[in-house]
Amino acid sequence: MTATIKFGTSGWRAIIADEFTFANVRITAEAIGRYVKTQNPSPTILVGYDTRFASEDFGRAVADVLTSQSIKVKLCSRAVPTPGVAFTVTNEKLDGAVNITASHNPGEYSGIKFSGSDGAPALPDVTGAIESEIARLQKSDWQFTAAPNEQLITPVDIGPAYLSNLATKVDFAKIRDAKLGIAYDALHGSGAGYLDRVLADNQIPFTSLHVDRDVYFGGHHPEPAEEQMSSLKALMLKNSLHLGLATDGDADRFGVMDQGGDFIAPNELIAMLVDYLVVSRNLAGKGLGVARSVATTHLIDRVAKLHGLELLETPVGFKFIGEYIKEGRIVLGGEESAGLSIRGHVPEKDGILACLLIAEMIASRRKSLKEQLKELFSRVGAVYNKRLNIRLDPTITSRVKAKIASSVREFHGRPVARENRLDGLKLIFEDESWVLMRPSGTEPVVRFYAESTSAADLETLLEYGRQWITEP
């Protein structure tokens, strides 16, 4: 059966040996190559890959297809973080990148992500053109029979230049002088050899976990969520460390534990970093803004208002935030799914940079993250939020999508003040609490988000959300 290859919020992902096969990777590479040559007849493309099963082999297959089209390829010599790929494209003025990665998905998945010459994830008009070309190739029963051109492939190590650039964004001396007890969990992903390396290069002591390659990711998802970070918590408690850092499978997402092993959610960390960067980089009053996805906490809105920043809301998918990064319009752009980047950096999520900035923030303010969050709440008010991932049974998928598409005037007796359909269905209530329901772009689940100024009311909203999605 012919696979339907669609690019979701961050590329095409599928189960290895099911739909993610060499044949499908090659046909996708052929379509990408044809698209790129419509933009530049003599392009150079970077090809990267993560630590998943056969990622380097899939990457080589992509390189073979591209060179058969007379496209020059810079082929990474080892697994690479996605933000490093983005930096290399912009730094070397390449025509784009193909990255073999499924990010935080389970180990049975792999994926292909395409970035343009700006280093940002391709926008829907580009991926739509590539999907259309794939469909045409499939209809014609295209097979890869052309000869690859080995002479057009150049092996590259993108690490040194990327890590060197981080020194222009992070105050490593401040982190080093604070003498923090730091641990880093790579979760067997491609952050290994990058975040740990830059800490070592800057003489910042740390302890590392799971920096070896394991295509099964230790039997867990390579996602830096609290439930995947038990080993890091145990290490922090055993050694009384100040800070635990983690990155996902391709190091574009971050996870953080405060002293005592307390997990701090990305929503809160992003808001705290906006506050810290505005103050520490003297960015107030300069006409800048901050961007967040529709699913991300409104705590950021409050911090933006505090500092006189414009608040920009985007659909889910960092590619939309990346547009504001490219324009130099925002201090920081972030998503609740643990993705952020900053002004002057790449228009792509960077979990490595996020971890380093959080370490700098603790080193500078000499207070734990819990203490800093409490102080922020005292200035702008407390906000509580959470996300549920509710797996869709095939028998209810169409019904749930129909409910999301319909107009909703009240939610379990709570009047709706405003509907927001930027991405999914967001219901904002009179007290500014809100809920959002949207199907995932990468997994067969509905994501339900809720936020309130009361922890008790948050739990009520979450329970209502479960009922709303699962009941007829």
Amino acid letter at 150? E
Ranges in the chain, pLDDT < 50: none
pLDDT at 446: 87
| CA distance linking residue 74 with residue 24, whole number of Å | 21
pLDDT tens-place string over residues 113-122:
999 999 999 9
DSSP track, 377-400 = HHHH---EEEEEEEEPPTTTHHHH
pLDDT at 443: 66
Residue 185 to residues 54, 78, 98, 169, 182, Cα–Cα distance (Å): 23, 19, 26, 22, 10
Closest CA to 440 of 390, 405, 395: 390
| CA distance linking residue 417 with residue 281, whole number of Å | 37
Closest CA to 167 of 365, 360, 366, 367: 360
pLDDT tens-place string over residues 140-165:
999 999 999 999 999 999 999 999 99
| CA distance linking residue 356 with residue 263, whole number of Å | 17
pLDDT at 395: 72
SS3 188: coil
Q: What is the dihedral of CA 162, 165, 169, 173, to 10 degrees?
A: 100
Q: How many CB atoms lie within 10 A of CB 378?
A: 9
SS3 330: strand
DSSP track, 397-439 = HHHHHHHHHS--SEETTEEEEEEE-SSSEEEEETTS-EEEEEE
* Domains of the chain, start order: 12-161 (3.40.120.10), 265-349 (3.40.120.10), 384-470 (3.30.310.50)
CB-CB contact of 31 with 135 (8 Å): no
pLDDT at 88: 98
pLDDT at 125: 94
pLDDT at 215: 97
All residues at 6 or more sequence positions from 188 whose CB lies less than 8 Å from its CB, including other chains: 51, 210, 211, 212, 213, 214, 217, 218, 222, 249
Residue 368 carries which DSSP code? -
Q: What is the dihedral of CA 186, 210, 12, 114, to 10 degrees?
A: 50
| CA distance linking residue 346 with residue 62, whole number of Å | 24
Residue 446 pairs in a beta bridge with 390, 439
Decide the pairing of beta strands 72-76 and 153-156: parallel
| CA distance linking residue 420 with residue 409, whole number of Å | 12
Q: Distance between alpha carbon 243 and the CA centroid of its chain, in Å?
A: 21
